[in-house]
């Protein structure tokens, strides 16, 4: 009986031992599987985290822009002739006949001046002339008499010459008096202020009864008259474009009061000198203003079309990178790695810039690159932007 119990006990022990081994093996397998799963999860998290550090960028496909530049510059509009009218004689304004905006003809009276002092001077000069003529007449008679007496040896040659010289002096006095009268009569003509040419009265700075001071340096002009059938337009052109703007070319002028309308202006001359202060060349254009739609002093913009001196590539200003190494753009190179390229700008119109060197049309330019983007950094290309050609607008 004892042996049977021992055999059963041994058999039970072997069975328990086997179950224990299997349990331990299962536990070890579960631990190993858990560790492997956690390792795979860690690797996945690491890969996701690394992917998040790779910036996603948008790229622009470049194209050559048109070889013509639309250059827009501000202009100064002036009347073809603009004359301030000053008084040449002192007095008081008697009456004015034309006000601002009046269209006048050459020689038309604008105002008259009451000149009592001048009138008195003229009357005095006329009286002096009458006196001088009377004295001259007496001198002529006396000289003739002494010439007759000289022939009879009744007087000396010296006395006869004295009378002849006195007649010559009196003749000169008459001439001087006559010139003074004519001068004052000419001044009397300036009592009327007249228009120097056909035009428009653009200013009236006097009124009835005002004290009038002669000369243009002692007060404002009394009137201003402008000839506006033609206008002069002055534009300061940046030096880079000055060689392309030559007399004979046509620009289109726009003004705020006529939105959407353009007026042709013909370039007539250039200063042919670069201003040291502004780096620009002053050019003059002529504008036909027969209908009088444009006013002197208008703010105007002139639109020129000039050829570009280089192959124009346009990129948005948002693609530019400003760093210590200078102006750069970021492109996508081999293996999707960023390549920073230094560029030179030919023209900047605000929203877009024209790149004259440093880029080719084959480059994939990154738009709005991250501030931390460095040369050689891995990038992920997101969706592409449309090709940049755009409107070729330029502002000086």
pLDDT tens digits for range 39-80: 666 565 454 444 455 777 788 877 666 566 778 899 999 999
The whole-chain average pLDDT of the chain stands at 82
Look at residue 93 in the predicted model and tell me its pLDDT: 93
Q: Is the pLDDT of residue 395 over 60?
A: no
Look at residue 43 in the predicted model and tell me its pLDDT: 62
Task: Compute CA distances 218 → 108, 110, 189, 222, 258, whole Å.
Answer: 25, 20, 21, 12, 40
Using an 8 Å Cβ cutoff, are 81 and 227 in contact?
yes
Q: What is the pTM of this model?
A: 0.58
Q: Tell me the mean pLDDT in the region 337-342.
A: 84
Residue 304 DSSP label: E
Q: Which residues lie across from 267 on neighbouring strands?
A: 285
Task: Identify which of 323, 310, 344, 354 has the alpha carbon closest to the alpha carbon of residue 62.
Answer: 354
> CA-CA distance, 357 to 199, in Å (whole number)?
52
Look at residue 224 in the predicted model and tell me its pLDDT: 93
Q: In angstroms, how far is the first alpha carbon of the chain from the final one? A: 120
Residue 135: CA count within 13 A, CB half-sphere: 17
Residue 324 DSSP label: T
Class of CATH domain 228-307: mainly beta
Per-residue pLDDT tens over the stretch 233-256? 999 998 888 888 889 999 999 999
Look at residue 159 in the predicted model and tell me its pLDDT: 80
Token pair of 337 as six digits: 């790695």
Helix (H, G, I), strand (E, B) or coil at 108: coil
- What is the CATH architecture assignment of 116-190? Orthogonal Bundle (1.10)
Contacts of 222 (CB under 8 A, 6+ apart): 85, 86, 87, 93, 110, 111, 193, 204, 205, 206, 212
DSSP one-letter string for 271-289:
EEEE-TTT-EEEEEEEEE-
Q: What's the full length of the chain, in residues?
A: 396
Q: Tell me the mean pLDDT in the region 201-217.
A: 87
For tokens 């006869």, the residue is 160
61-65, 85-89, 348-352, 379-383: segment of lowest average pLDDT: 61-65
CATH numeric code, 56-65+311-395 = 2.40.420.20
């Amino acid at each position: 009986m004892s042996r049977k119990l021992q055999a059963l006990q041994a058999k039970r022990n072997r069975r328990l031992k086997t179950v224990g081994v299997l349990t331990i093996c299962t536990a070890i397998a579960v631990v190993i599987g858990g560790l492997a799963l956690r390792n795979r999860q860690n690797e996945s998290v690491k890969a996701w985290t690394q992917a998040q550090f790779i910036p996603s960028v948008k790229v622009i496909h470049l194209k050559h822009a048109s070889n013509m530049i639309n250059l827009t510059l501000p202009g100064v509009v002036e009347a073809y002739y603009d004359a301030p009218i000053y008084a040449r004689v002192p007095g008081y304004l008697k009456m004015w006949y034309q006000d601002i905006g009046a269209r006048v003809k050459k020689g038309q009276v604008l105002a008259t001046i009451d000149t009592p002092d001048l009138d008195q001077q003229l009357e005095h000069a006329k009286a002096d002339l009458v006196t001088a003529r009377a004295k001259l007449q007496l001198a002529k008679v006396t000289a003739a008499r002494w010439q007759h007496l000289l022939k009879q040896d009744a007087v000396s040659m010296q006395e006869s010459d004295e009378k002849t010289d006195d007649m010559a002096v009196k003749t000169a006095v008459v001439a001087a008096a006559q010139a003074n009268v004519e001068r004052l009569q000419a001044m009397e003509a300036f009592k009327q202020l007249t228009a120097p040419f056909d035009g428009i009265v653009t200013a009236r700075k006097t009124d009835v009864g005002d004290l009038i001071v002669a000369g243009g340096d002692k007060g404002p002009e009394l009137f201003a008259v402008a000839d506006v059938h033609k206008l002069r337009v002055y534009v300061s052109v940046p030096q880079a474009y000055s060689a392309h703007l030559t007399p004979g070319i046509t620009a289109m002028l726009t003004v705020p009061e006529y939105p959407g309308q353009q007026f042709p202006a013909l370039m007539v001359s250039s200063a042919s000198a670069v201003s040291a202060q502004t780096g620009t060349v002053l050019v003059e254009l002529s504008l036909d203003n027969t209908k009088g739609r444009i006013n002197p002093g208008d703010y105007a913009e002139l639109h020129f079309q000039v050829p570009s001196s280089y192959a124009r590539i346009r990129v948005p200003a948002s693609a530019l990178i400003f760093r210590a190494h200078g102006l750069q753009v970021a492109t996508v190179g081999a293996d999707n790695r960023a390549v920073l390229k230094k560029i030179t700008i030919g023209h900047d119109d605000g929203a877009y810039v024209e790149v004259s060197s440093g880029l080719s049309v084959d480059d994939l330019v990154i738009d709005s690159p991250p501030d931390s983007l460095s040369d050689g950094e891995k990038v992920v290309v997101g969706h592409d932007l449309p090709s940049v050609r755009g409107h070729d607008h330029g502002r000086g």
